Structure 1
C-alpha cells in the first residue's frame, strides 16, 4: 500500500544539480517530473538549489524491517521511514516478521493502515507465505494480494517443506506476485552464530555452514522453474548460491537476487573477536564468498542491493555473539558506503549504482520509480559526493545504532530527499 498524504498541485524547480555527470535542472509539476534540462526557468515554482550535488532517482530498498507492530522499542514505521529518507530512499518494502504477523486479512490491513498513516516515504508491505512464518499451510495468497501485498515472504525463516514452497509459488504465480525467499535449511544450522570455518574455530564460536543456504536455494530454483513464478533471493551470501542463480538465469528461470552492503564490504576474516556488531543472518562469509558476491553483482547475476535494515536495541547487541540478536541497521549508511567503495574507488560509475539501488529493484517488482524521466514520479535524492563524512551513532534517525560501520569515513551523504516532489528530508 502506498502513502498518499503529500500535497499535489505544486511546482518545484531543482536547480544546479548534477544528473549523470551533466549540469541539469529538474522541473516538477503535481508530483511528477515535467522537464529535465539546462537552465529551466519557472516563476511559479518553489526553487531548491542543489548546489552542484549529485541528483539521483530516489533509492528503492526491497528489504527493510520496521518492527511495528510488536517490536516498537527497536523501530517504528515513523522512525524507520524517517531514517530511509535520510538515507536517500523514497520507496521501501517492509518485511512481515512482526507481532502479529500479517498472515491474514485483518493483521495485514492493520499494518498497511499504519504504514499509510505514519510513513513519510512510499512503503510497500510484504505478506507472509504461511501462518506465523513457520506453518506448513500457506495463507490466503489471493485475498492478501487483493489487499495490496507487494509480494510474499517468510523472511527470517526459511520455508522448510518443499510442498509448502511449491503451493506458495503456484498461488503467487496465479496472482502475478513474487515469492521472496529467506533461504535457510534449519537442519543444517546447528546453533551457529557466525560463518563456519577457521575464524569461528579460532574464536570458539559455533559456525553456520553455507550449505544451509545453497541447498535450499537449489530446491527452490527447481520449483521456480516448474511453476514459472518470479522467485527473488533475499540477502544472498555464498559463492555457491551466486553460481546457482547464474545457472538458473541461463536456463530461463525467472529469478532475481539481492545482496546487502555488509556482505559486499565485510567478510569473516575481519572478525577479530566475539563482536556482536558482526553478527547477522546470513552471516559474514569467507573472503572468497565476498569476492563472488561482488563478481555476481558486476556481471548481473545479482540484480540489486538491498539493506536488510535490521534495527535492535542496545541491550540486544551487547555481550557475546552467542546471545546477541542477528542483524545490523543499514538504511542510513547504504548509499554512502556503496558510493565510497564502488564509485569513489573507480570500480563502477554512478549510473551502475543507480541501476543497483533504484532502477533494478523498481523494475523487478513492477513498481513506478527508480529513474529520472519526464512523466515519472518526482522521487528524487540529492547527495554530497565531494565532502568526506565520518559515520557516528548519534547522527542516526533510526532507533537502531547497531552497525559495525560506525567510524567509517565515507562520501555520498544525503543532502535532500523528495517524494512526489515534496521534501521529506534535508534543509
Structure 2
C-alpha cells in the first residue's frame, strides 16, 4: 500500500477578534514566532498562556501547531485533542479544524486508523472545505479504504482541483485498476503547476507511483497489443527519470511492485527492456536486476566485483546485503533439494550476514526497530526461510539454520529473545 503524507495541517481558520489585554498580545507574539519558525519560543509562550487559561481552545490549538512544526507529534496530538474536547459543540468549523489537525498528528505518528477517523469527522463537519476533503480522502487511501476515498471525492460538493487527480491515480493503482490510474496521473501531470497547489507534492514520488501503474499494466496484459502505447511511454519515462538525481528510487519502486513478484515470468522480459532504457545502468543497479531474475550466481559475481570498489558506507551495506541474500538463497535451495546442510557454507553465509552490519557495534533496540536498512537483513532472513519452507514441519527443520545466522545480529537482548522464539520451530511474525 502506497502511503501519502501530504496531510494538510490547517493552521488558522478561526475567526477571532483580539480583546484588550496582554493575553491576546502574547497569543499574537506566539503566532509570529511560529511564522518565523522559532518553534521552541512559541511553545514556551503558549505553555505559559495555558497555565493561565488551561481550557483556552485557541491557545491549545496554537500550542499544537508549534509542537507539530517542531516534529513533536505526540505533544501536538494531545494539544489538538484538548482543543477539540473543550470546544463548543456548536462551533462546527472550529471543531473541524481541531479534528483535521488531530488527523495530521496521527498521520505522522503512523496511526493510520485514527488519522482516518478524525479526518472523516472533520470533513463531515465542514464539507465545503477543500482541505478537509483532501485530508479525508488521502487518509482513507492511507488506511487502505481506497473505494471509500474515491466515493468521497466523487460525491464532493466542491469543485475538485488538479491535485485530486493524483489521489485518484493512487487509489486506482491500489485497487488494481491500472488504466484508470494511468489516466488520472496523466491528467494530473498535464495540468500540474506547483504554485497553484496547496498540497506540497514530491513530484518525483508521484512519477514513481505513476510508473508503478504503467509497469503493472504491461506485466498484467503482456500479450495485449493495446498495451504497446503504455510500454513506449513507460520506457520513455524511465529513461527520463534515470537521468535525475533520484534514479535509485526507480529500482526501489520497481522491485516493491507486487505484480512484478507475482508474475515473474511475464515480468522478466519487461525488466530487461527497462534496463535497456536506463541511462548507463551501474554495477549496483545490475545487482538488483540479476537478484530479481533469480540468477544468484551472477548476482554474487557482480557483488564480488562491486565490493572491491571504493565505497561509501551506504554502498558498502548495499553490496554486502545482496552478497548475503544471494548466498542465503543458494544455501536454502541446496537444503531444500538435498535435505542436508553444508556446515562450511552455512558458516560463510552467517559471516556475510554479520558483515552487513557495522563492525564492533552493538546496536540498540530503537536502531533495529526504526531503521529500515537494519531491519531488512533480519526480515529477509525470516521471510526467505518461510518462502522455501512453509509447513510447520519444514520450518522446524530450517529453524536451526535461521538461528545460527541471526545469532550474528549485533544486539545481545534481541539474539536472546530470537533464540527463545525460534527454538520453538516457528517462523511466523
Q: What TM-score, normalized to structure 1?
A: 0.30
Larger strand fraction of residues: 1
Work out which of the two has the higher radius of gyration on C-alpha atoms and give 1 or 2.
2
Q: What TM-score, normalized to structure 2?
A: 0.30
Whose relative contact order is higher, 1 or 2, with alpha carbons under 8 Å and at least 6 apart?
1
Larger helix fraction of residues: 2
